[in-house]
């Protein structure tokens, strides 16, 4: 996993470790429409979303740790969208925790990034299934080859024995 430096609040991504290729931007959902949307955001959008969530009784936004994909997205989007980096700088940690900021960000940008995140989840599931299926398949292949070898040896022995009895 790529090295992520921490923000001054100590619990979120802040700067990219290395420049990203255009293919990675697409894979991570950092697209021109998302960047255009982010230019329209303000600190007040995050504050009002946080208030709405708090009044709705859920406290913090659907929290938890960011997935690997979300962390990579966050690092890249901070590098590409200076407006978002400034908003984060203004809000964290004075007005909200970094974790809450990212939860709100992913809620606000959901319609732009959800297809990319779902695609990443699907790819990861397929990769896991392939990995899981390879291990038993390899073990079965070895067992089958060993059985075939044993059967071949046994049948060879039987053929030799039957030829000796016929003579």
Instruction: Using alpha carbons only, give the angle 106, 62, 15 rounded to the nearest 5 degrees.
Output: 40
Confidence of residue 150 (pLDDT cuts 50, 70, 90): low
Q: Which band of pLDDT confidence, cut at 50, 70 and 90, is reported for residue 53?
A: confident
pLDDT tens digit sequence for 95-108: 999 999 999 999 99
The tens digit of pLDDT for each residue in 109-125 reads: 999 999 999 999 999 99
Ramachandran sector of residue 108 (left: φ over 0; alpha: ψ -120 to 50; beta: rest): alpha
| Tokens standing for residue 56 | 């709705």
**pTM summary value:** 0.65
Q: Where are the domains of the chain?
A: 22-130
Alpha-carbon gap, residue 16 to 2, rounded angstroms: 9
Q: How many CB atoms lie within 10 A of CB 150?
A: 10
Please tell me whether residue 128 adopts helix, strand or coil conformation.
helix
């Amino acid at each position: 996993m790529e090295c992520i430096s921490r923000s001054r609040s100590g619990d979120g991504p802040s700067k990219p470790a290395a420049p990203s290729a255009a293919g990675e931007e697409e894979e991570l959902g950092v697209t021109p429409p998302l960047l255009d949307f982010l230019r329209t955001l303000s600190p007040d959008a995050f504050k009002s979303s946080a208030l709405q969530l708090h009044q709705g009784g859920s406290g913090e936004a659907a929290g938890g740790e960011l997935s690997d994909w979300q962390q990579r997205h966050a690092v890249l989007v901070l590098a590409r969208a200076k407006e978002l980096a400034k908003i984060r700088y203004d809000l964290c940690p004075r007005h909200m925790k970094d974790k809450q900021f990212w939860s709100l960000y992913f809620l606000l940008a959901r319609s732009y990034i959800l297809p990319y995140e779902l695609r990443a989840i699907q790819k990861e599931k397929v990769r896991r299934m392939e990995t899981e299926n390879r291990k038993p398949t390899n073990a079965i292949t070895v067992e089958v080859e060993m059985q075939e070898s044993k059967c071949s040896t046994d049948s060879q022995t039987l053929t030799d024995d039957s030829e000796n009895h016929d003579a």
